[in-house]
């Protein structure tokens, strides 16, 4: 009888340790690149120009910490962002002007994987949801590709939450 109780206590202890280990492992695991704009209300501003595939320019003002997709949505610029900044699609693909590309941190492996799916991929392509504005990006120019993969049809335009 004592050995049955000992065995049960041991199993419960191991189960608890396993559950605790799983929780710790989950907390320490690298996070996916779920990007959000973290611009403070009093953050410095950055001038950004989106250029459509037809050459139409859309100059806007963003704040340091804001990502390019959120900025586009806030200014009614057609940049889809189907996955809502979770780095799980390529619909917010932008082509960064070469003069600014090296001023942006390197893309993560997750971003590169999604960029491989982007329509019209260029050497300076990035996902708008993964690029946050910094003071060094003052005056950045972004070309919007002529099309995206997964683009909704019939004029549907996603709205940010």
Secondary structure (H, E, C), the chain: CHHHHHHHHHHHHHHHHHHHHHHHHHHHCCCCCCCCCCCCCCCCEEEEEEECCCCCEEEEEEECCCEHHHHHHHCCCCCCCCCCCCCCCCCCEEEECHHHHCCCCCCCHHHHHHHCCCCCCCCCEEEHHHCECCHHHCCEEEECCCCCCCCCCCCCCCCCC
Q: Is residue 157 part of a domain?
A: no
Q: Is residue 10 part of a domain?
A: no
Q: By residue range, what is the domain housing residue 63?
A: 45-143
Q: Is residue 18 part of a domain?
A: no
Q: Is residue 106 part of a domain?
A: yes
108 pLDDT higher than 70? yes
Q: What is the pTM of this model?
A: 0.71
Q: Is residue 156 part of a domain?
A: no
Of the ranges 38-42, 99-103, 146-150, which is most confident?
99-103
Number of domains observed in the structure of the chain:
1
Q: Is residue 23 part of a domain?
A: no
Q: What is the pLDDT of residues 81-96, one digit of tens each?
A: 888 898 999 999 999 9
Q: What is the CATH number of the domain that holds 119?
A: 3.10.20.30
**In the structure, what pLDDT confidence band is assigned to residue 152 with cuts at 50, 70 and 90?**
low
Q: Is residue 107 part of a domain?
A: yes
Q: Is residue 1 part of a domain?
A: no
Q: What is the pLDDT of residues 111-150, one digit of tens each?
A: 999 999 999 999 999 999 999 999 999 999 999 998 876 6
């Amino acid at each position: 009888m004592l050995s049955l109780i000992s065995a049960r206590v041991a199993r419960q202890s191991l189960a608890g340790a396993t559950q605790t280990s799983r929780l710790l492992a989950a907390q320490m695991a690298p996070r996916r690149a779920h990007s959000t704009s973290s611009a403070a209300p009093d953050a410095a501003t950055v001038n950004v120009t989106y250029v459509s595939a037809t050459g139409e320019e859309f100059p806007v003002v963003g704040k340091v910490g804001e990502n390019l997709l959120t900025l586009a949505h806030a200014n009614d610029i057609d940049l889809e962002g189907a996955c809502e900044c979770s780095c799980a699609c390529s619909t917010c693909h932008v082509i960064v002007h070469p003069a600014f590309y090296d001023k942006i941190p390197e893309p993560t492996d997750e971003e590169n994987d999604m960029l491989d799916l982007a329509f019209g991929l260029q050497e300076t392509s990035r996902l708008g949801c993964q690029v946050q504005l910094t003071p060094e990006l003052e005056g950045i120019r972004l070309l919007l590709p002529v099309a995206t993969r997964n683009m909704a049809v019939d004029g549907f335009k996603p709205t940010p939450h």
